Structure 1
Amino acid sequence: MTDTHIAEKELKILFLYPNLNMSTLVPNAISILSAVLKADGFKNIDLFDTTFYDTKEDSKDEDRVKAGQVQPFNFDERGIKLKQSDMFQDFIEKIDTYSPM
């Protein structure tokens, strides 16, 4: 193994998942890419996920309740708390602290 090969394994990789508010679909690509990278020896892999940010817009689940497709529910009763912080500022902070590359 060369020094270059070792240096490549030290790269910090940050995935961004720009999901809609509380959308329940899980992205297969991020999971697969992360697993392949880890199997190849990369250890510094992280994810910034926007799923749990309160965007003040109705979630797809809330739209389904309004359409009568599902029963009303409360995230708080299920222990799910939305982030109230600014996702854009949090993303900038994540990049600054994690320093991917």
Structure 2
Amino acid sequence: MIKEHARFQLEASKLGRNIVFQVTVYAKTRRRKTSLHAETQCSDPYHFVIQFVIKDCDSTEEIIERFAHQLRHRGFKPERMRGWEEQSWAPWTDVPEDSQSVA
């Protein structure tokens, strides 16, 4: 069964443009094990659509780390982020630095 688990926005810059990604995190339960999945997409002047897919994470923090790592790998600079809490967006906070443990 798949249910919505969380939602966050992450602002990143590339080629002088700021893009706000809205990411929905889903909890997927199989055989009593729950894993988190997320995906989003955008376009830039050189690519029609760029998709970002994150699978099999244990926490929302791990999703954010892996998403920020994918953004950096594709030339984006993650700037700030905020989460969806109780029917409104939380204040913007800085994105955590990239760690070497993220694959």
TM-score relative to the length of structure 2: 0.27
Considering fraction of residues, name the structure with more strand: 2
Which of 1 and 2 has higher RCO (CA within 8 Å, sep 6+)? 1
Asked which structure has the greater CA Rg, the reply is 1
TM-score relative to the length of structure 1: 0.27
